[in-house]
């Protein structure tokens, strides 16, 4: 399912009505923890739309108006965009009909204020939620992200060690040039991880204080499919207990 970016100029100042009866799955973890890969696999097994705020923002920054340029600058520097902006993006997206039976939030909420806002919205409408925390060591993340290469032509993603192209620097599919995404540069990755560590601690404490199901899962050491199976089984079983105590991956 495709995540569509809302037209920000047309966003009403009032939150649209949110009638979804299915569960909201919040997939949560540091940048580079494999959230995107897990989201796609979990989406396939649960048949719910995958809503990535990062993807929405990258789509929106293609428009070179003031908002697009602001988003580009923040993303290139590894900074978070404002809570109001992402909350409104999510509010616009989850009222679309495909979200009625639940949806998967990838990279959202990312701050305490976003979590508080979205949980309040869900609670008010009787929609339950499940929190999945992917735990990956920061050194592993830096190795993963710094080796990532994106095709400037078709957007295909490679890794210099784990998924190298046949010809160095050239896309196998469209022969386009492979580039390092601006926010995958090591200095930016470190800033993103620092921001994550600072912001996720209160968020984890917030979720730990709730009765909603919370799964903390090791994001390495098993295949992506095996990790996704663990996540889907946990969600389907409607478990209420922590699988382990939530904690932030060490630096």
Query: Closer CB to ligand AMP, residue 82 or residue 244?
Result: 82
108 binds ligand AMP (CB under 6 A): yes
Query: Closer CB to ligand AMP, residue 92 or residue 183?
Result: 183
* Residue 149 a catalytic site member: no
* Residue 236 a catalytic site member: no
CA distance 139 to 189: 11
**Least distance to ligand AMP from the beta carbon of 204, Å?**
15
**Least distance to ligand AMP from the beta carbon of 33, Å?**
9
Which of 50, 72, 93, 110 is the binder for ligand AMP (CB under 6 A)?
A: 110
Read out DSSP for the chain? -PPPPP-GGG--SSPPP----SPEEEEE--TTSSHHHHHHHHHHHHT--EEEHHHHHHHHTTS-SHHHHHHHHHHHTTPPPPHHHHHHHHHHHHTSGGGTT-EEEES---SHHHHHHHHHHHHHTT--EEEEEEE--HHHHHHHHHTEEEETTT--EEETTTB--SBTTB-TTT-PBEE--GGGSHHHHHHHHHHHHHHHHHHHHHHHTS-S-EEEEESSSS-HHHHHHHHHHHHHHT--S-SS---PPP-
74 binds ligand AMP (CB under 6 A): yes
86 binds ligand AMP (CB under 6 A): yes
Helices 53-60/66-76 angle, 10° precision: 130
Which of 192, 213, 234, 246 is the binder for ligand AMP (CB under 6 A)?
A: 192
Residues 26-65 that bind ligand AMP (CB under 6 A): 31, 53-54, 57
Query: Closer CB to ligand AMP, residue 46 or residue 134?
Result: 134
Bin 175: left if φ > 0, else alpha if -120 < ψ < 50, else beta: left
* Residue 35 a catalytic site member: yes
Catalytic residue among 72, 93, 148, 149: 148
Catalytic residue among 181, 185, 190, 201: 181
String marking each residue 140-179 x if it binds ligand AMP according to CB under 6 A:
----------------------------------------
**Least distance to ligand AMP from the beta carbon of 59, Å?**
11
Which of 11, 15, 45, 80 is the binder for ligand AMP (CB under 6 A)?
A: 80
- The footprint of ligand AMP (CB under 6 A) covers 31, 53-54, 57, 74-75, 78-81, 86, 107-108, 110, 114, 183, 192
């Amino acid at each position: 399912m495709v995540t569509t970016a809302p037209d920000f100029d047309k966003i009403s100042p009032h939150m649209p009505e949110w009638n979804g009866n299915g569960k909201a799955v919040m997939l949560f973890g540091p940048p580079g923890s494999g959230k995107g890969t897990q989201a796609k696999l979990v989406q396939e097994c649960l048949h719910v739309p995958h809503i990535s705020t990062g993807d929405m923002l990258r789509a929106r920054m293609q428009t070179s108006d003031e908002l697009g340029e602001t988003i580009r600058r923040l993303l290139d520097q590894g900074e978070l965009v404002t809570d109001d902006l992402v909350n409104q993006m999510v509010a616009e997206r989850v009222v679309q009909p495909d979200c009625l039976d639940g949806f998967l939030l990838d990279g959202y909420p990312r701050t305490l204020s976003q979590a508080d806002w979205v949980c309040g919205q869900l609670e008010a409408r009787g929609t339950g939620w499940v929190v999945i925390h992917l735990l990956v060591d920061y050194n592993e993340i830096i190795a993963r992200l710094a080796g990532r290469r994106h095709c400037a032509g078709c957007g295909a993603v490679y890794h210099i060690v784990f998924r190298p192209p046949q010809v160095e620097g050239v896309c196998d599919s469209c022969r386009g040039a492979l580039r390092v995404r601006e926010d995958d540069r090591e200095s930016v990755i470190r800033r993103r991880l620092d921001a994550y560590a600072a912001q996720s601690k209160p968020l984890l404490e917030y979720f730990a204080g709730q009765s909603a199901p919370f799964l903390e899962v090791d994001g390495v050491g098993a295949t992506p499919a095996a990790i996704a199976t663990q996540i889907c089984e946990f969600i389907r079983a409607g478990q209420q207990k922590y699988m382990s105590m939530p904690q932030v991956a060490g630096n």
